Amino acid sequence: MRFYQHSLELYQTLEEELDSWFMHETKGLMWLAHTETQMRAERARSLLNLACGAETVMITPQEAKALCPQLDLSGGGRYPVLGASYHPAAATARHDRVVWAYAQGAMRRGVHVVQHTRVTGLVRDGERVTGVETSAGRISASVVLSAVGGSVSTVAAHAGVRLPIRTHPLQAFVTNGYDFPFAGIVSDTELLCYVSQTERGQMLIGAEYDAQPSYSLRSSFSFLQSSAAKITHLLPFLRDLRILRQWTGICDISADFSPIMGHTGVDGFLVTTGWGTWGFKAIPAGGEQMAQLIATGRAPALIEPFGLERFASDQTMADPGSTGTH
Amino acid sequence: MLWITCPTCGRRPVEEYSFGGELRGVREGITDPIARDIDYAWMYDNIEGVTVERWFHRAGCRRWLTLRRDTTTDSVVAYPLPGGPRGR
Ligand SMILES: Cc1cc2nc3c(=O)[nH]c(=O)nc-3n(C[C@H](O)[C@H](O)[C@H](O)COP(=O)(O)OP(=O)(O)OC[C@H]3O[C@@H](n4cnc5c(N)ncnc54)[C@H](O)[C@@H]3O)c2cc1C
Ligand SMILES: [Zn+2]
């Protein structure tokens, strides 16, 4: 949680630092609960968040309705809203703009960004990794950090490193424009879906990742069907909108649903992975902390628990900060 | 969408099945028994290509089956020979 809170704070000043606009907007996020068990889980979430400096409060159904008037508190008669936890500082940003802003910022500071070039192997000198083989030739490096998202197992295999990672597709879709403002982000752990409004007024809807691992980027009709069925219980106005676009990305899901950052046991080869479906919110903190790790050779305190060694030393965790989205 | 042909029930949509994980052999290359157990407990091949894996026909005959699936296209490429429990 502390790690993600740090990331949230870095995001708040990142546009200024990188001198670019990526539509960062603080909107607030509510997690709806429909059962007593879920209410308990949301209470636990808000207490833990609070303890880690991420303000989160429990709100009543009426308060949820006041924040989001479109909400059907009866959940279509099937999923009555008993309450919600509410995190006012939650924000969204335009994902591709964040990537461009980072790339530009890095290039201004002298970093070479090589586009459209695939890493096809790792150069090894005995046990050490000393560079990468790419589709454009060999590049030497004293440290190689793999940050390739869902492709991490393939890259790590070149160093003989095996990881507790499975690659699953995650899908999302947007509707056509909704003419009214929609407050914040509405999320639901029981129905496993979330919704927010983009800058252009489209409604953005996502759900859980595909059950079987795969590297396929194909979107499916059954995903549209199942998420539309779920989300319209809570937000009936969505029935009148049309689906404009859907897409799929691949996510590196770790065995304990927490990220894996650091050394791999092979000299010169590091990974940052396990970002699953929640890695976007971690970008500023993940980058900063990994840079420190590479510069000093040691994991800073904030990410020390996220080492790959935890699987061997029986110190795995299900970090509650990871498993949410946004 | 992925369709899987169950030996008992025929061609059925993936929603009827539960994914049972990749079929993992014990890695003979790892000689230290503890390291081998850790590998077995936590590590995945997570192959980008053809994998051998187990599926459970949850909303059907409720039997397990083994198949080969290409994870780059998410399509089944081969079913096991009848009688071969591990499908290799
Ligand atoms: C539909 C969807 C919705 C999501 N919603 C959220 C959300 O609401 N909140 C949130 O926090 N997270 C969300 N995520 C997750 C988030 O997008 C990821 O966790 C995050 O992008 C991971 O960042 P990364 O830099 O580790 O990897 P990626 O962004 O996946 O980048 C990896 C890069 O490596 C490149 N690459 C791969 N293989 C090679 C190779 N061999 N050689 C060279 N380059 C290679 C890829 O082309 C890619 O550009 C969502 C993901 C998806 C798919
Ligand atoms: Zn069957």
Q: What is the mean pLDDT of residues A22-50?
A: 94
User: CA B83 to CA A231: how far, in whole Å?
Assistant: 44
pLDDT in tens, B17-65: 999 999 877 788 889 999 999 999 999 999 999 999 999 999 999 999 9
Residue A3 reports pLDDT greater than 90? yes
Question: Bridge partners of B5?
Answer: B11
Residues near ligand 1 with C-beta < 6 Å?
A 118-119, 147-149, 151, 155, 170-172, 206, 249, 251, 275, 277-281, 325-326
Q: Which two tokens stand for residue A271?
A: 């990974």
Please give the sequence-ordered ranges of beta strands (E in DSSP) within chain B, or none if there are none. Answer: 3-6, 10-13, 18-22, 50-56, 64-70, 75-78
Final residue in a domain of this structure, among A246, A268, A290: A246
Find out if CATH 3.30.2270.10 is the number for domain B3-78: yes
Q: Which ligand is nearest to the CA of A91?
A: 1
Mutate to test the pocket of ligand 1, among A135, A154, A219, A275 (most ligand atoms within 8 A of CB): A275
Give me the domain span that covers residue A183: 29-88+172-246
Mean pLDDT of chain A: 94
Cβ distance B42 to A164 less than 8 Å, yes or no, reads yes
- A17 domain residue, yes or no: no
In this structure, how many other beta carbons lie within 10 angstroms of the beta carbon of residue A221? 9
Residue A325 has pLDDT above 50, yes or no: no
Residues forming beta bridges with residue A121, ordered by sequence position? A133
Judge whether A237 lies within some domain: yes
Residue A15 maps to a domain: no
Tell whether A176 and A311 lie within a shared domain. Answer: no
d(CA B21, CA B51): 10
Q: What is the pLDDT of residues A166-178, one digit of tens each?
A: 999 999 999 999 9
Q: Do A188 and A299 share a structural domain?
A: no
For an interface test with A, give the residue of B42, B54, B76 to mutate (most A CBs within 10 A). B42
- Ligand sitting nearest the alpha carbon of A245: 1
| Residues ≥6 apart with Cβ < 8 Å to A243 | A173, A174, A175, A224, A228
pTM of the model: 0.94
Q: Are residues A156 and A217 in the same domain?
A: no
Q: Which helix (H) or strand (E) holds A237?
A: none
Express each pLDDT in A208-226 by its tens digit: 999 999 999 999 998 999 9
Run of H or E including A277:
none
How would you write A50-117 as a 3-class SS string?
HHCCCCCEEECHHHHHHHCCCCCCCHHHCCCCCEEEEECCCEECCHHHHHHHHHHHHHHCCCCCCCCC
- The torsion angle over the Cα atoms of residues A303, B38, B27 and B76, rounded to 10 degrees, is -70
Is A14 inside any structural domain? no
CA distances A40 to A33, A58, A99, A300, B72, Å, are 9, 10, 37, 33, 40
Single out the residue in A246, A277, A299 at which a domain terminates: A246
**Range A67-91 average pLDDT:** 96
- Beta-sheet pairing, A91-92 with A57-59: unpaired
Span A20-44, mean pLDDT?
A: 95
Q: How far away, in angstroms, is B51 Cα from ligand 1 center? A: 23
Same-domain check for residues A118 and A239: no
A3 within domain boundaries: no
Q: Does some domain include residue A18?
A: no
Query: CB A153 to CB B13 under 8 A?
Result: no
Take atom 53 of ligand 1 and give the residue whose Cα is closest: A249
Q: Identity (one letter) of the amino acid at A153?
A: S
- For residues A147 and A277, state if they share a domain: yes
In this structure, are A176 and A276 located in the same domain? no
Band of pLDDT at residue A183, cut at 50, 70 and 90: confident
Query: Which residues of chain B neighbour A213 with C-beta distances below 8 Å?
Result: 19, 22, 46, 71
For residue A208, the 8-state DSSP code is P
Residue A269 has pLDDT above 90, yes or no: yes
Q: How confident is the model at residue B84 (pLDDT cuts 50, 70, 90)?
A: very low
Answer for the pair A185, A195: CB distance below 8 angstroms, yes or no: yes
Residue A23 belongs to some domain of the structure: no
Same domain, A157 and A177: no
Q: Tally A–B CB contacts below 8 A.
A: 62
Domain end among A223, A246, A269: A246
